[in-house]
Structure 1
Protein backbone atom coordinates (compact mmCIF):
# COMPACT_ATOMS: atom_id res chain seq x y z
CA UNK A 1 0.00 0.00 0.00
CA UNK A 2 1.41 3.43 -0.99
CA UNK A 3 1.99 5.74 1.97
CA UNK A 4 0.05 9.01 1.82
CA UNK A 5 2.05 12.21 1.47
CA UNK A 6 1.19 15.85 2.14
CA UNK A 7 0.12 16.19 -1.50
CA UNK A 8 -2.73 13.79 -0.71
CA UNK A 9 -4.18 16.18 1.87
CA UNK A 10 -7.91 16.83 1.56
CA UNK A 11 -10.08 19.61 2.92
CA UNK A 12 -12.13 17.08 4.91
CA UNK A 13 -9.04 15.63 6.64
CA UNK A 14 -7.61 19.09 7.27
CA UNK A 15 -10.97 20.30 8.57
CA UNK A 16 -11.32 17.29 10.87
CA UNK A 17 -7.89 18.00 12.38
CA UNK A 18 -8.67 21.70 12.79
CA UNK A 19 -11.97 20.87 14.47
CA UNK A 20 -10.26 18.43 16.84
CA UNK A 21 -7.62 21.00 17.81
CA UNK A 22 -10.27 23.67 18.39
CA UNK A 23 -12.45 21.37 20.48
CA UNK A 24 -9.48 20.59 22.71
CA UNK A 25 -8.78 24.33 23.12
CA UNK A 26 -12.45 25.09 23.75
CA UNK A 27 -12.42 22.78 26.78
CA UNK A 28 -10.25 25.33 28.59
CA UNK A 29 -12.12 27.57 31.07
CA UNK A 30 -13.50 30.72 29.43
CA UNK A 31 -15.40 33.68 30.74
CA UNK A 32 -19.15 33.11 30.62
CA UNK A 33 -21.40 35.24 28.43
CA UNK A 34 -24.63 36.41 30.02
CA UNK A 35 -28.03 35.92 28.44
CA UNK A 36 -28.48 39.60 27.64
CA UNK A 37 -25.25 39.65 25.62
CA UNK A 38 -26.17 36.45 23.77
CA UNK A 39 -29.65 37.79 23.00
CA UNK A 40 -28.26 41.10 21.74
CA UNK A 41 -25.65 39.54 19.45
CA UNK A 42 -27.89 36.77 18.14
CA UNK A 43 -30.74 39.19 17.45
CA UNK A 44 -28.51 41.56 15.48
CA UNK A 45 -26.86 38.77 13.47
CA UNK A 46 -30.23 37.30 12.55
CA UNK A 47 -31.57 40.75 11.70
CA UNK A 48 -28.62 41.32 9.36
CA UNK A 49 -29.31 38.00 7.63
CA UNK A 50 -33.00 38.84 7.31
CA UNK A 51 -32.06 42.21 5.80
CA UNK A 52 -29.86 40.54 3.14
CA UNK A 53 -32.67 38.12 2.29
CA UNK A 54 -35.20 40.92 1.86
CA UNK A 55 -32.95 43.31 -0.05
CA UNK A 56 -31.81 40.62 -2.50
CA UNK A 57 -35.17 38.81 -2.67
CA UNK A 58 -33.73 35.40 -1.91
CA UNK A 59 -35.44 32.51 -3.70
CA UNK A 60 -36.28 29.13 -2.18
CA UNK A 61 -33.77 27.43 -4.46
CA UNK A 62 -31.06 29.78 -3.16
CA UNK A 63 -32.22 29.17 0.41
CA UNK A 64 -32.05 25.39 -0.10
CA UNK A 65 -28.56 25.75 -1.60
CA UNK A 66 -27.53 27.71 1.49
CA UNK A 67 -28.88 25.03 3.84
CA UNK A 68 -27.12 22.28 1.88
CA UNK A 69 -23.87 24.23 1.99
CA UNK A 70 -24.10 24.91 5.74
CA UNK A 71 -24.65 21.21 6.36
CA UNK A 72 -21.63 20.34 4.21
CA UNK A 73 -19.41 22.79 6.10
CA UNK A 74 -20.19 20.82 9.24
CA UNK A 75 -19.81 17.43 7.59
CA UNK A 76 -16.40 18.45 6.24
CA UNK A 77 -15.35 19.73 9.67
CA UNK A 78 -14.60 23.09 8.09
CA UNK A 79 -16.19 25.50 10.54
CA UNK A 80 -12.80 26.41 12.11
CA UNK A 81 -11.36 26.97 8.63
CA UNK A 82 -14.30 29.01 7.35
CA UNK A 83 -14.62 31.16 10.48
CA UNK A 84 -10.88 31.78 10.83
CA UNK A 85 -10.50 32.71 7.16
CA UNK A 86 -13.56 34.94 6.75
CA UNK A 87 -14.56 36.13 10.25
CA UNK A 88 -11.59 36.10 12.65
CA UNK A 89 -9.86 39.18 11.20
CA UNK A 90 -12.84 41.35 12.23
CA UNK A 91 -12.84 39.89 15.77
CA UNK A 92 -9.10 40.50 16.06
CA UNK A 93 -9.47 44.11 14.89
CA UNK A 94 -12.13 44.81 17.53
CA UNK A 95 -10.35 43.03 20.39
CA UNK A 96 -6.98 44.71 19.74
CA UNK A 97 -8.19 48.10 18.48
CA UNK A 98 -6.65 50.04 21.39
CA UNK A 99 -3.76 47.70 22.16
CA UNK A 100 -0.31 49.37 22.13
CA UNK A 101 2.87 47.70 20.93
CA UNK A 102 3.34 45.42 17.93
CA UNK A 103 0.34 44.73 15.75
CA UNK A 104 -1.44 41.40 16.05
CA UNK A 105 -3.45 39.50 13.51
CA UNK A 106 -5.38 36.24 13.27
CA UNK A 107 -4.26 32.96 14.82
CA UNK A 108 -5.84 30.91 12.04
CA UNK A 109 -6.89 27.26 12.19
CA UNK A 110 -3.45 25.59 12.12
CA UNK A 111 -2.09 26.38 15.60
CA UNK A 112 -1.27 23.40 17.81
CA UNK A 113 -0.03 23.86 21.41
CA UNK A 114 2.79 21.81 22.88
CA UNK A 115 5.55 22.35 20.32
CA UNK A 116 9.15 21.46 21.32
CA UNK A 117 10.96 24.09 23.39
CA UNK A 118 14.52 25.35 23.00
CA UNK A 119 16.63 28.32 24.11
CA UNK A 120 18.08 31.28 22.26
CA UNK A 121 19.31 30.12 18.86
CA UNK A 122 17.57 27.14 17.28
CA UNK A 123 16.79 25.33 14.06
CA UNK A 124 13.12 24.43 13.83
CA UNK A 125 12.35 20.70 13.62
CA UNK A 126 12.36 19.72 9.96
CA UNK A 127 13.02 16.80 7.65
CA UNK A 128 16.61 16.06 6.64
CA UNK A 129 15.70 16.85 3.04
CA UNK A 130 13.32 19.73 3.81
CA UNK A 131 12.69 21.64 0.60
CA UNK A 132 12.85 25.42 0.45
CA UNK A 133 15.12 28.43 0.72
CA UNK A 134 16.92 28.62 4.08
CA UNK A 135 15.77 31.53 6.23
CA UNK A 136 17.47 33.03 9.27
CA UNK A 137 14.97 34.95 11.42
CA UNK A 138 16.17 37.13 14.30
CA UNK A 139 13.83 38.89 16.69
CA UNK A 140 14.29 41.19 19.65
CA UNK A 141 11.51 41.02 22.26
CA UNK A 142 11.10 44.20 24.28
CA UNK A 143 8.62 46.15 26.32
CA UNK A 144 7.15 49.44 25.10
CA UNK A 145 9.68 51.35 27.20
CA UNK A 146 12.50 49.74 25.22
CA UNK A 147 13.58 47.27 27.92
CA UNK A 148 14.61 43.87 26.60
CA UNK A 149 12.58 40.92 27.84
CA UNK A 150 14.89 37.98 28.55
CA UNK A 151 13.04 34.71 28.98
CA UNK A 152 10.22 35.81 26.68
CA UNK A 153 8.55 32.91 24.90
CA UNK A 154 8.37 33.06 21.10
CA UNK A 155 6.22 30.33 19.59
CA UNK A 156 6.47 29.90 15.82
CA UNK A 157 4.69 27.72 13.27
CA UNK A 158 4.54 27.75 9.49
CA UNK A 159 3.71 25.88 6.32
CA UNK A 160 6.40 24.03 4.40
CA UNK A 161 7.66 24.77 0.88
CA UNK A 162 4.63 23.01 -0.60
CA UNK A 163 2.20 25.05 1.52
CA UNK A 164 1.22 22.38 4.06
CA UNK A 165 1.30 22.32 7.87
CA UNK A 166 2.47 19.45 10.04
CA UNK A 167 -0.47 17.70 11.78
CA UNK A 168 -2.83 18.91 9.04
CA UNK A 169 -1.55 16.90 6.08
CA UNK A 170 -0.32 13.29 5.89
CA UNK A 171 3.33 12.33 5.66
CA UNK A 172 4.71 15.34 7.56
CA UNK A 173 6.49 14.80 10.92
CA UNK A 174 4.35 15.85 13.86
CA UNK A 175 6.23 18.99 14.89
CA UNK A 176 7.65 19.92 11.51
CA UNK A 177 8.46 23.65 11.37
CA UNK A 178 6.96 24.30 14.80
CA UNK A 179 8.74 25.34 17.96
CA UNK A 180 8.84 27.45 21.12
CA UNK A 181 12.01 29.52 21.55
CA UNK A 182 13.01 31.20 24.81
CA UNK A 183 14.70 34.59 24.41
CA UNK A 184 18.27 34.94 25.69
CA UNK A 185 19.57 37.50 28.20
CA UNK A 186 19.28 40.23 25.57
CA UNK A 187 15.68 39.34 24.73
CA UNK A 188 16.79 37.90 21.39
CA UNK A 189 15.78 34.75 19.53
CA UNK A 190 17.48 33.39 16.42
CA UNK A 191 15.50 30.88 14.39
CA UNK A 192 16.75 28.89 11.41
CA UNK A 193 13.96 27.61 9.21
CA UNK A 194 12.89 27.64 5.55
CA UNK A 195 11.19 30.51 3.77
CA UNK A 196 7.43 29.82 3.56
CA UNK A 197 5.56 30.22 0.28
CA UNK A 198 2.04 31.39 -0.60
CA UNK A 199 -0.52 28.60 -0.36
CA UNK A 200 -4.15 27.93 -1.10
CA UNK A 201 -6.38 27.23 1.86
CA UNK A 202 -8.02 23.77 1.61
CA UNK A 203 -10.48 24.29 -1.22
CA UNK A 204 -11.84 20.91 -2.29
CA UNK A 205 -14.55 21.04 0.40
CA UNK A 206 -17.41 23.32 1.37
CA UNK A 207 -15.27 26.43 1.87
CA UNK A 208 -13.77 25.92 -1.57
CA UNK A 209 -17.24 25.56 -3.06
CA UNK A 210 -18.18 29.01 -1.80
CA UNK A 211 -14.92 30.51 -3.06
CA UNK A 212 -15.41 29.00 -6.51
CA UNK A 213 -19.08 29.98 -6.70
CA UNK A 214 -18.19 33.59 -5.81
CA UNK A 215 -15.25 33.74 -8.21
CA UNK A 216 -12.79 34.51 -5.41
CA UNK A 217 -9.28 33.09 -5.02
CA UNK A 218 -8.17 30.81 -2.16
CA UNK A 219 -4.62 32.08 -1.69
CA UNK A 220 -2.81 33.31 1.39
CA UNK A 221 0.50 35.20 1.12
CA UNK A 222 3.64 33.59 2.52
CA UNK A 223 3.83 34.12 6.28
CA UNK A 224 5.25 33.03 9.62
CA UNK A 225 2.94 32.64 12.64
CA UNK A 226 3.95 33.77 16.12
CA UNK A 227 2.69 33.84 19.68
CA UNK A 228 4.93 35.99 21.88
CA UNK A 229 4.58 36.46 25.63
CA UNK A 230 6.68 37.55 28.60
CA UNK A 231 6.02 37.85 32.31
CA UNK A 232 3.87 40.88 33.09
CA UNK A 233 2.99 41.45 29.44
CA UNK A 234 0.07 40.64 27.16
CA UNK A 235 0.23 37.73 24.74
CA UNK A 236 0.81 38.86 21.16
CA UNK A 237 -0.57 36.63 18.39
CA UNK A 238 0.54 37.71 14.94
CA UNK A 239 1.76 36.76 11.47
CA UNK A 240 4.67 38.28 9.57
CA UNK A 241 4.65 38.62 5.79
CA UNK A 242 7.28 39.30 3.13
CA UNK A 243 7.26 42.73 1.49
CA UNK A 244 6.52 42.52 -2.22
CA UNK A 245 5.16 38.99 -1.98
CA UNK A 246 2.19 37.63 -3.89
CA UNK A 247 -1.32 38.07 -2.42
CA UNK A 248 -0.20 40.72 0.08
CA UNK A 249 -2.86 43.06 -1.24
CA UNK A 250 -5.67 40.50 -1.56
CA UNK A 251 -5.16 37.87 1.14
CA UNK A 252 -8.20 35.59 1.26
CA UNK A 253 -8.15 35.86 5.08
CA UNK A 254 -7.86 39.68 5.10
CA UNK A 255 -5.16 39.38 7.78
CA UNK A 256 -2.30 41.43 6.29
CA UNK A 257 -1.33 44.76 7.88
CA UNK A 258 1.44 47.13 6.71
CA UNK A 259 3.17 46.92 10.11
CA UNK A 260 3.69 43.17 9.65
CA UNK A 261 6.07 43.30 6.68
CA UNK A 262 9.48 41.63 6.68
CA UNK A 263 12.24 42.83 4.35
CA UNK A 264 14.46 40.00 3.20
CA UNK A 265 18.15 40.33 2.43
CA UNK A 266 20.72 37.71 1.40
CA UNK A 267 22.09 35.82 4.41
CA UNK A 268 25.56 36.86 5.54
CA UNK A 269 26.80 33.28 5.14
CA UNK A 270 25.46 33.10 1.58
CA UNK A 271 22.93 30.42 2.49
CA UNK A 272 19.43 31.69 1.68
CA UNK A 273 17.97 34.85 3.23
CA UNK A 274 17.82 36.55 6.59
CA UNK A 275 15.49 39.02 8.25
CA UNK A 276 14.96 40.69 11.61
CA UNK A 277 11.98 42.06 13.52
CA UNK A 278 11.16 43.68 16.88
CA UNK A 279 8.30 42.29 18.95
CA UNK A 280 7.08 45.07 21.25
CA UNK A 281 4.82 43.81 24.02
CA UNK A 282 2.20 45.76 25.95
CA UNK A 283 2.10 45.41 29.71
CA UNK A 284 -0.67 43.28 31.15
Structure 2
Protein backbone atom coordinates (compact mmCIF):
# COMPACT_ATOMS: atom_id res chain seq x y z
CA UNK A 1 0.00 0.00 0.00
CA UNK A 2 1.42 3.35 -1.04
CA UNK A 3 2.03 6.34 1.22
CA UNK A 4 -0.44 8.30 -0.94
CA UNK A 5 -3.16 5.77 -0.11
CA UNK A 6 -2.39 5.99 3.61
CA UNK A 7 -2.43 9.79 3.54
CA UNK A 8 -5.70 9.82 1.65
CA UNK A 9 -7.18 7.41 4.14
CA UNK A 10 -6.43 9.52 7.21
CA UNK A 11 -7.40 12.83 5.63
CA UNK A 12 -10.56 11.49 3.98
CA UNK A 13 -11.72 9.35 6.88
CA UNK A 14 -11.34 12.19 9.37
CA UNK A 15 -13.20 14.68 7.22
CA UNK A 16 -15.91 12.18 6.30
CA UNK A 17 -16.44 11.06 9.90
CA UNK A 18 -16.85 14.67 11.02
CA UNK A 19 -19.23 15.45 8.17
CA UNK A 20 -21.29 12.31 8.80
CA UNK A 21 -21.62 13.05 12.51
CA UNK A 22 -22.65 16.63 11.88
CA UNK A 23 -25.27 15.47 9.36
CA UNK A 24 -26.86 13.17 11.94
CA UNK A 25 -26.97 16.07 14.41
CA UNK A 26 -28.64 18.57 12.05
CA UNK A 27 -31.48 20.28 13.90
CA UNK A 28 -30.80 18.26 17.05
CA UNK A 29 -30.86 19.91 20.46
CA UNK A 30 -30.61 18.61 23.99
CA UNK A 31 -31.88 20.53 26.97
CA UNK A 32 -29.29 19.56 29.61
CA UNK A 33 -29.81 21.26 32.98
CA UNK A 34 -27.06 23.85 33.65
CA UNK A 35 -26.14 22.19 36.94
CA UNK A 36 -25.39 18.90 35.12
CA UNK A 37 -23.29 20.69 32.50
CA UNK A 38 -21.47 22.57 35.24
CA UNK A 39 -20.77 19.44 37.27
CA UNK A 40 -19.37 17.41 34.36
CA UNK A 41 -17.39 20.29 32.83
CA UNK A 42 -15.94 21.31 36.19
CA UNK A 43 -14.84 17.76 37.07
CA UNK A 44 -13.32 17.20 33.60
CA UNK A 45 -11.34 20.45 33.82
CA UNK A 46 -10.24 19.68 37.38
CA UNK A 47 -9.10 16.20 36.30
CA UNK A 48 -6.91 17.71 33.58
CA UNK A 49 -5.55 20.27 36.02
CA UNK A 50 -4.68 17.50 38.47
CA UNK A 51 -2.77 15.60 35.77
CA UNK A 52 -0.80 18.78 35.02
CA UNK A 53 0.04 19.26 38.71
CA UNK A 54 0.91 15.62 39.33
CA UNK A 55 3.29 15.46 36.36
CA UNK A 56 4.51 19.07 36.69
CA UNK A 57 3.66 19.94 33.09
CA UNK A 58 6.21 22.30 31.55
CA UNK A 59 5.31 25.25 29.34
CA UNK A 60 6.94 23.54 26.36
CA UNK A 61 4.76 20.45 26.95
CA UNK A 62 1.71 22.68 27.40
CA UNK A 63 2.36 24.36 24.04
CA UNK A 64 2.76 20.98 22.34
CA UNK A 65 -0.56 19.88 23.88
CA UNK A 66 -2.25 23.07 22.71
CA UNK A 67 -0.91 22.62 19.17
CA UNK A 68 -2.03 18.98 19.16
CA UNK A 69 -5.58 19.79 20.29
CA UNK A 70 -5.86 22.33 17.48
CA UNK A 71 -4.62 19.77 14.96
CA UNK A 72 -7.21 17.18 16.08
CA UNK A 73 -9.90 19.59 14.89
CA UNK A 74 -8.04 20.61 11.75
CA UNK A 75 -7.59 16.94 10.79
CA UNK A 76 -11.29 16.21 11.44
CA UNK A 77 -10.30 13.56 13.98
CA UNK A 78 -12.43 14.41 16.99
CA UNK A 79 -14.92 11.62 16.07
CA UNK A 80 -12.01 9.18 15.82
CA UNK A 81 -10.42 10.34 19.09
CA UNK A 82 -13.67 10.18 21.07
CA UNK A 83 -14.84 6.89 19.57
CA UNK A 84 -11.50 5.18 20.19
CA UNK A 85 -10.75 6.42 23.73
CA UNK A 86 -14.10 7.37 25.29
CA UNK A 87 -17.05 5.67 23.60
CA UNK A 88 -16.51 2.25 25.25
CA UNK A 89 -17.12 3.87 28.65
CA UNK A 90 -20.28 5.64 27.43
CA UNK A 91 -21.52 2.36 25.93
CA UNK A 92 -20.94 0.47 29.20
CA UNK A 93 -22.85 3.11 31.17
CA UNK A 94 -25.82 3.17 28.83
CA UNK A 95 -26.27 -0.61 28.44
CA UNK A 96 -25.54 -1.73 32.02
CA UNK A 97 -29.29 -2.21 32.72
CA UNK A 98 -29.85 -4.67 29.89
CA UNK A 99 -30.65 -8.33 30.46
CA UNK A 100 -30.30 -9.11 26.75
CA UNK A 101 -27.20 -8.41 24.69
CA UNK A 102 -25.17 -5.39 25.82
CA UNK A 103 -23.35 -4.71 22.57
CA UNK A 104 -20.32 -2.55 21.93
CA UNK A 105 -19.26 0.78 20.43
CA UNK A 106 -20.52 2.12 17.10
CA UNK A 107 -17.21 3.68 16.04
CA UNK A 108 -16.79 6.52 13.53
CA UNK A 109 -17.57 4.68 10.26
CA UNK A 110 -21.30 3.94 10.43
CA UNK A 111 -23.39 5.14 7.47
CA UNK A 112 -27.22 4.98 7.69
CA UNK A 113 -29.56 3.90 4.88
CA UNK A 114 -27.47 1.06 3.48
CA UNK A 115 -29.22 -0.92 0.69
CA UNK A 116 -32.04 -3.23 1.85
CA UNK A 117 -31.34 -6.87 0.94
CA UNK A 118 -34.01 -9.03 2.59
CA UNK A 119 -33.40 -11.78 5.15
CA UNK A 120 -31.12 -14.13 3.19
CA UNK A 121 -28.69 -12.35 0.88
CA UNK A 122 -25.14 -11.58 -0.14
CA UNK A 123 -23.87 -8.18 0.98
CA UNK A 124 -22.75 -5.67 -1.67
CA UNK A 125 -19.14 -6.33 -2.67
CA UNK A 126 -16.80 -6.02 -5.61
CA UNK A 127 -16.30 -8.83 -8.11
CA UNK A 128 -13.43 -10.88 -6.77
CA UNK A 129 -13.56 -9.20 -3.34
CA UNK A 130 -10.50 -10.32 -1.37
CA UNK A 131 -10.96 -12.36 1.78
CA UNK A 132 -12.30 -15.75 2.80
CA UNK A 133 -16.03 -16.28 2.40
CA UNK A 134 -18.08 -15.83 5.57
CA UNK A 135 -21.71 -16.79 6.17
CA UNK A 136 -23.13 -14.95 9.17
CA UNK A 137 -26.50 -16.27 10.32
CA UNK A 138 -28.73 -16.38 13.35
CA UNK A 139 -31.97 -15.23 14.93
CA UNK A 140 -33.23 -12.04 16.57
CA UNK A 141 -35.26 -12.64 19.73
CA UNK A 142 -36.72 -10.74 22.65
CA UNK A 143 -35.58 -11.43 26.21
CA UNK A 144 -38.58 -13.75 26.70
CA UNK A 145 -37.31 -15.94 23.85
CA UNK A 146 -39.93 -14.94 21.29
CA UNK A 147 -38.65 -14.36 17.74
CA UNK A 148 -38.79 -10.78 16.45
CA UNK A 149 -40.00 -11.11 12.89
CA UNK A 150 -39.34 -8.03 10.77
CA UNK A 151 -36.36 -6.90 12.85
CA UNK A 152 -33.66 -4.98 11.00
CA UNK A 153 -30.02 -6.06 10.99
CA UNK A 154 -27.48 -3.56 9.64
CA UNK A 155 -24.01 -4.92 8.89
CA UNK A 156 -20.85 -3.09 7.87
CA UNK A 157 -17.15 -3.92 8.14
CA UNK A 158 -13.68 -3.28 6.76
CA UNK A 159 -12.38 -5.08 3.70
CA UNK A 160 -9.37 -7.41 3.56
CA UNK A 161 -7.06 -4.36 3.46
CA UNK A 162 -8.66 -2.77 6.52
CA UNK A 163 -10.58 -0.04 4.65
CA UNK A 164 -14.23 1.06 4.97
CA UNK A 165 -16.30 2.19 2.01
CA UNK A 166 -17.11 5.93 2.03
CA UNK A 167 -14.05 6.52 4.24
CA UNK A 168 -11.27 5.53 1.84
CA UNK A 169 -10.78 6.36 -1.84
CA UNK A 170 -11.49 3.90 -4.65
CA UNK A 171 -14.17 1.78 -2.95
CA UNK A 172 -17.76 1.43 -4.22
CA UNK A 173 -20.18 3.49 -2.13
CA UNK A 174 -21.88 0.60 -0.35
CA UNK A 175 -19.09 -1.96 -0.41
CA UNK A 176 -19.54 -4.41 2.50
CA UNK A 177 -22.53 -2.49 3.87
CA UNK A 178 -26.12 -3.67 3.93
CA UNK A 179 -29.47 -3.71 5.76
CA UNK A 180 -31.28 -7.02 6.21
CA UNK A 181 -34.89 -7.50 7.35
CA UNK A 182 -35.23 -10.83 9.16
CA UNK A 183 -37.96 -13.34 8.28
CA UNK A 184 -41.07 -14.12 10.34
CA UNK A 185 -39.05 -16.34 12.65
CA UNK A 186 -36.47 -13.64 13.23
CA UNK A 187 -33.85 -15.45 11.16
CA UNK A 188 -31.25 -13.99 8.84
CA UNK A 189 -28.40 -15.30 6.66
CA UNK A 190 -25.77 -12.92 5.30
CA UNK A 191 -22.91 -13.89 2.99
CA UNK A 192 -19.86 -11.65 3.13
CA UNK A 193 -16.08 -11.98 3.53
CA UNK A 194 -13.87 -12.08 6.59
CA UNK A 195 -12.69 -8.59 7.61
CA UNK A 196 -9.06 -7.87 8.43
CA UNK A 197 -7.46 -6.33 11.51
CA UNK A 198 -6.39 -2.77 10.80
CA UNK A 199 -4.66 0.23 12.26
CA UNK A 200 -6.70 3.35 12.89
CA UNK A 201 -5.40 6.27 10.75
CA UNK A 202 -1.91 7.15 11.95
CA UNK A 203 -0.83 10.12 9.81
CA UNK A 204 -3.14 12.60 11.57
CA UNK A 205 -3.32 13.97 15.09
CA UNK A 206 -4.42 10.67 16.68
CA UNK A 207 -1.50 8.92 15.05
CA UNK A 208 0.90 11.51 16.45
CA UNK A 209 -0.44 10.86 19.96
CA UNK A 210 -0.03 7.10 19.49
CA UNK A 211 3.56 7.50 18.27
CA UNK A 212 4.50 9.93 21.04
CA UNK A 213 3.08 7.62 23.73
CA UNK A 214 4.65 4.48 22.25
CA UNK A 215 1.26 2.79 21.82
CA UNK A 216 0.08 0.65 18.91
CA UNK A 217 -2.82 1.61 16.62
CA UNK A 218 -4.34 -1.82 15.95
CA UNK A 219 -7.95 -2.93 16.12
CA UNK A 220 -8.77 -6.65 15.88
CA UNK A 221 -10.88 -7.88 12.98
CA UNK A 222 -14.57 -7.34 13.66
CA UNK A 223 -18.07 -7.05 12.25
CA UNK A 224 -20.20 -3.97 13.04
CA UNK A 225 -23.94 -4.41 13.54
CA UNK A 226 -27.03 -2.49 14.51
CA UNK A 227 -30.09 -4.57 15.35
CA UNK A 228 -33.51 -3.06 15.95
CA UNK A 229 -37.11 -4.22 16.32
CA UNK A 230 -40.37 -2.48 17.11
CA UNK A 231 -40.88 -2.00 20.84
CA UNK A 232 -37.29 -2.91 21.69
CA UNK A 233 -34.04 -1.09 22.44
CA UNK A 234 -31.68 -0.88 19.50
CA UNK A 235 -28.51 -2.91 19.88
CA UNK A 236 -25.17 -1.72 18.49
CA UNK A 237 -22.43 -4.33 18.50
CA UNK A 238 -18.99 -5.28 17.27
CA UNK A 239 -18.31 -9.01 16.97
CA UNK A 240 -14.79 -10.43 17.08
CA UNK A 241 -12.89 -13.50 15.89
CA UNK A 242 -10.89 -15.85 18.16
CA UNK A 243 -7.14 -15.92 17.76
CA UNK A 244 -6.71 -12.31 16.69
CA UNK A 245 -3.50 -10.99 18.32
CA UNK A 246 -5.21 -7.70 19.23
CA UNK A 247 -8.27 -9.08 20.99
CA UNK A 248 -6.41 -8.52 24.27
CA UNK A 249 -5.03 -5.03 23.55
CA UNK A 250 -7.56 -3.39 21.22
CA UNK A 251 -6.70 0.32 20.90
CA UNK A 252 -10.44 1.08 21.35
CA UNK A 253 -10.87 -1.19 24.41
CA UNK A 254 -14.11 -2.52 22.90
CA UNK A 255 -13.63 -6.32 22.99
CA UNK A 256 -15.87 -8.28 25.39
CA UNK A 257 -15.92 -12.08 25.90
CA UNK A 258 -19.61 -12.33 25.00
CA UNK A 259 -18.91 -10.67 21.63
CA UNK A 260 -16.50 -13.39 20.50
CA UNK A 261 -17.66 -15.43 17.50
CA UNK A 262 -17.12 -19.16 16.91
CA UNK A 263 -16.52 -19.65 13.16
CA UNK A 264 -16.77 -23.18 11.74
CA UNK A 265 -15.51 -24.51 8.42
CA UNK A 266 -18.43 -24.84 6.04
CA UNK A 267 -19.80 -24.64 2.53
CA UNK A 268 -21.07 -21.25 1.38
CA UNK A 269 -22.84 -21.64 -1.98
CA UNK A 270 -20.31 -24.19 -3.15
CA UNK A 271 -17.28 -22.33 -1.81
CA UNK A 272 -15.26 -23.44 1.21
CA UNK A 273 -15.49 -20.76 3.87
CA UNK A 274 -16.48 -19.98 7.43
CA UNK A 275 -19.96 -20.19 8.93
CA UNK A 276 -20.91 -18.29 12.09
CA UNK A 277 -24.13 -18.70 14.06
CA UNK A 278 -24.88 -15.78 16.36
CA UNK A 279 -28.25 -14.82 17.88
CA UNK A 280 -29.24 -11.36 19.10
CA UNK A 281 -31.41 -10.82 22.18
CA UNK A 282 -33.06 -7.39 22.46
CA UNK A 283 -34.49 -5.76 25.58
CA UNK A 284 -38.08 -4.47 25.39
CA UNK A 285 -38.45 -0.72 25.78
CA UNK A 286 -39.23 0.24 29.36
Is 2:267 aligned against 1:279? no
Answering whether residue 132 of structure 2 is matched by residue 130 of structure 1, we say no
Structure 1, 214-223 or 7-16: larger mean CA deviation: 7-16
Q: Per-residue displacement from partner, 1:172-228 (whole Å, max 9, x unpaired)?
A: 000000000000111011000000110000111100000011010000000000000
TM-score between both structures, scaled by the size of structure 2: 0.95
Count of residue pairs brought into register by the alignment: 281
* Structure-2 residue corresponding to 1:42: 41
Q: Which residue of 1 aligns with 2:178?
A: 179
Distance of 1:42 and 1:198 partners within structure 2: 36
Q: Residues of 2 paired with 1:170 and 1:131: CA distance?
A: 17
Alignment match, 2:253: 254
Asked if the contact 1:5–1:171 (Cα under 8 Å) also holds between the matched residues in 2, the reply is no
Structure 2 counterparts to residues 7-22 of structure 1, below 5 A: 9-22=8-21
The alpha-carbon distance between structure 1 residues 128 and 274, as it changes in their structure 2 partners (threshold 3 A), is same
Contact kept in structure 2, 1:8 and 1:170, CA below 8 Å:
no
The Cα of 1:248 is off from its aligned counterpart by: 0.3
Q: Deviations over 1:18-46 (max 9, x none)?
A: 00000001125353212111111100000
Deviations 1:18-75 (A, max 9, x none): 0000000112535321211111110000000111011110000000000000011011
1:103 corresponds to which residue?
102
Q: Which runs of 5+ in 2 are unaligned?
A: none
Q: 1:50 aligns to what SS in structure 2?
A: helix
Shift of 1:9: 3.1
Instruction: Indicate if the aligned counterparts of 1:153 and 1:180 stay in contact, CA closer than 8 A.
Output: yes
The answer to whether the 8 A contact 1:167-1:174 is kept is yes
- SS where residue 279 of structure 2 aligns? strand
Distance 1:28 1:230, change over 3 A: farther
How many Å separate the matches in 2 of 1:130 and 1:98? Answer: 40
**Aligned-CA RMSD value:** 1.4
For residue 20 of structure 1, give the secondary structure of its aligned residue in structure 2: helix
Cross-structure match for 2:147: 148
Tell me the CA shift for residue 7 of structure 1. 5.7
SS at match of 2:117: strand
Cα contact 1:221–1:245 (8 A) shared by 2 = yes
CA distance in structure 2 between the partners assigned to 1:113 and 1:7 by the alignment? 25
**Is the partner of 1:22 in helix, strand or coil?**
helix
Question: 2:187 is matched with which residue?
Answer: 188
Ranges of 4+ aligned residues in structure 1 off by more than 6 Å: none
Gaps spanning 5+ residues in structure 1: where? none
Equivalent position of 1:232 in the other structure: 231
1:139 deviation in Å?
1.8
| 1:99–1:6 Cα change, 3 Å | farther
Deviation at 1:118, TM superposition (A): 1.7
Q: Which residue of 2 aligns with 1:203?
A: 202
| Cα distance in 2, alignment partners of residues 7 and 207 from structure 1 | 14
For 1:48, what is the secondary structure of its paired residue? Answer: helix
Q: TM-score when scaled to structure 1?
A: 0.96
Deviation, structure 1 residue 10: 2.9
Secondary structure of 1:118 counterpart: coil
